[in-house]
Structure 1
Amino acid sequence: MSETIPATLGALKHPAISFEFFPPKTAEMEKSLWETINRLAPLTPNFVSVTYGAGGSTRERTHSTIARILGETELLPAAHLTCVGAARGEIDDVVARYHEVGVRHIVALRGDPPGGIGTPFSTHPDGYQTSAGLVDGIKKRFPDIEVSVSAYPEKHPESPSFDADIDGLKAKVDAGATRAITQVFFDNDLYFRYLDRVRAHGIDIPIVPGIMPMHNFKQARAFVTRAGTTVPDWLAEKFDGLDDDAETRKLVAATVAAGQVQKLNKHGVDTFHFYTMNRADLVFAICHLLGIRPTSAHFPKFARPSQLTALRTSESYGH
């Protein structure tokens, strides 16, 4: 084994990476998030995204986190935006204010229902009816904003068929999306089969794998299965008996995720998006195993208070 590991790592071509965070709910969670951001920033990700809660429930916290990233770091933030529970004009105003403070990348999503995954979904009568419509609305008003969208290697749970699901992705691409980030998956064959289907439909944008280290296997499995992700038996077996052994769980989770990324990379995948769950430890370890090392270029720049005041003043999104 000691002879094969260097060869595997040597074959890797330091992939491009991006990270996803969610906006904190409490002062303690905010402190933890910024410890995570400061730990991961020196790995020089292409961008970092900040999520939106179900029904846009975290809108103000998402905006605040984005503004702070702009003001205190050299990272490029991508703001998640959904079209749930808001009129078109309200969403357009959010986009305009993001643009005003310097955001040039939006992850455009339909969004989950306000009641969460599995509850009834309905659009706002005066809002964008689909994520493709949201993409179109963003690109028509601000052509300089890059738009990423979601993709589903196992099909969106609400789509009637795989073809219908991929037609939805094609509509988002035709509207101006230039990158798709996948829902988390654990079987690489699912990703490659999906990629074949997507390319057969004439979709040629990057389909970036979404990778989620399983910090807490039971919780993570419950979360991802609600969103339609299959958790294979072999993966469950690796965590069997570790419910009360957090340290070993972390080692296993890092090994599994690093192995998945290495195998994808060996088959030509060179860009990855990590669902960090606002924790740095496993993601940093996985990136280290992939040969990615910290640089000094993206340490926090700590903007002057006047800069932060200007950002937060222009970020009065509620009106």
Structure 2
Amino acid sequence: MFNTPNVSFEFFPPKDEEGEANLLHTVSRLEPYRPSFASVTYGAGGSTRERTNRIVKRLVEESTLTPAAHLTCVGATREEINSIVRTWQAAGIKHIVALRGDAPAGAEKYEPHPNGYANAAELTAGLRKMGDFEISVGAYPDVHPDSPSAAADLENLKRKIDEGANRAITQYFFEADTFLRFRDVCTKAGIKVPIVPGILPVVKFKTVLHFSKSCGAVIPQWMADLFDGLDEDPEISQLVAAATATELCMKLMTEGVEDFHFYTLNRSQLTSAICRRLGRKPNMKDTT
């Protein structure tokens, strides 16, 4: 018998009013699962900055969720980033996901702003100086695509933790052993904060293939075979996706994992189904 796991959710800021209405509907469906927090992403180069600001503030004002605002180093000075953080502080936002960020569209590689934070470790240190934030950082079981080696990637993660991060949330992966090996390596490196597995329920497999090429996540052959042709059969695809993600989570729970972070893609059905299967039932009082 497992303990009921803790969960958290990730959303992205929509592009228009219709998307925002759909997101708020998703929030209302997932809110009863009482997540530890709900993160809102932040586009490359701050491209979604205003939309991210609006969504996290709406979550504060219109829901019971604890919003965690993503923040990147790309294309901004330290003062510009600090100004954003002060605005969030004033709005009651105390949880930040501190990331280096990806290179903006058209750039060959990430380049730090000459007057900005160079990386997520520097950003984490800056946040620690500004206030008593809950800080999450990224971790990469399959190694970040910009890292020269797994050892360098691990050292970078350790720097972020040493600068004051409270937890690391992993990039998504699809095999339990990928996470468990990574967790063991982190423990041996002296990393003591929680390493929270990021779980991506597959909405469309072609989309996952596209994401994975840019983020370095490995897709095992068995999974490619399993989802082959299912993008044209969304009902069956959703059943397979729910079963696959649930099985992954349950394997991790047998190894003592108690927290999961779900990349929802602003949809509620798959994440809701998985939460229920893991024993995380909604508080029906919150659904009225």
Shorter-chain TM range is over 0.9
Q: Which amino acid aligns with 1:127?
A: G
What's the secondary structure of 1:197's corresponding residue?
A: helix
RCO higher in structure (CA 8 A, sep ≥6): 1
1:77 is aligned to 2:30 = no
1:100 corresponds to which residue? 90
**Structure 1, unaligned runs of 5 or more:** 1-10, 301-319
1:237 is aligned to 2:225 = yes
What's the secondary structure of 2:273's corresponding residue?
A: helix
1:135 corresponds to which residue? 124
- State the Cα distance separating 1:241 from its structure 2 match: 2.8
Among 17, 20, 24, the alignment partner of 1:30 is 20
1:161 is aligned to 2:149 = yes
Query: Are the equivalent residues in 2 in contact too, given 1:22–1:51 (CA < 8 A)?
Result: yes
- Matches of 1:187 and 1:245 in 2, distance apart? 24
The structure-2 alpha-carbon separation of the partners of 1:299 and 1:82, relative to structure 1 and needing over 3 Å to count, comes to: farther
Poorly superposed stretches of 4+, deviation over 2 Å = 296-300
- State the Cα distance separating 1:299 from its structure 2 match: 5.3
- State the Cα distance separating 1:298 from its structure 2 match: 4.8
Q: Which amino acid aligns with 1:18?
A: S
TM-score, reference length from structure 2: 0.97
- State the Cα distance separating 1:12 from its structure 2 match: 2.5
1:125 is aligned to 2:111 = no
1:176 corresponds to which residue? 164
What's the secondary structure of 1:243's corresponding residue?
A: helix
What's the secondary structure of 1:283's corresponding residue?
A: helix
Query: Are the equivalent residues in 2 in contact too, given 1:40–1:280 (CA < 8 A)?
Result: yes
What's the secondary structure of 1:46's corresponding residue?
A: coil
1:14 is aligned to 2:7 = no
Aligned pairs for 1:1-319 within 5 A: 11-115=1-105, 119-142=108-131, 144-296=132-284, 298=286
- Matches of 2:103 and 2:67 in 1, distance apart? 25
- State the Cα distance separating 1:296 from its structure 2 match: 4.5
**Structure 2, unaligned runs of 5 or more:** none
Q: Which amino acid aligns with 2:264?
A: T
Q: Which amino acid aligns with 2:156?
A: G
What's the secondary structure of 1:86's corresponding residue?
A: coil
Query: Are the equivalent residues in 2 in contact too, given 1:74–1:298 (CA < 8 A)?
Result: no
- State the Cα distance separating 1:224 from its structure 2 match: 1.8
Q: Which amino acid aligns with 1:121?
A: Y
- Matches of 1:64 and 1:119 in 2, distance apart? 30
Query: Are the equivalent residues in 2 in contact too, given 1:79–1:107 (CA < 8 A)?
Result: yes
Greater Cα offset, 289-298 or 208-217: 289-298
- Matches of 1:147 and 1:82 in 2, distance apart? 13
What's the secondary structure of 1:293's corresponding residue?
A: coil
RMSD over equivalenced CA pairs, Å:
1.3
Q: Which amino acid aligns with 1:123?
A: P
1:308 corresponds to which residue? none
- State the Cα distance separating 1:119 from its structure 2 match: 3.2
Q: Which amino acid aligns with 1:133?
A: E
Q: Which amino acid aligns with 1:283?
A: T
- Matches of 2:178 and 2:251 in 1, distance apart? 13
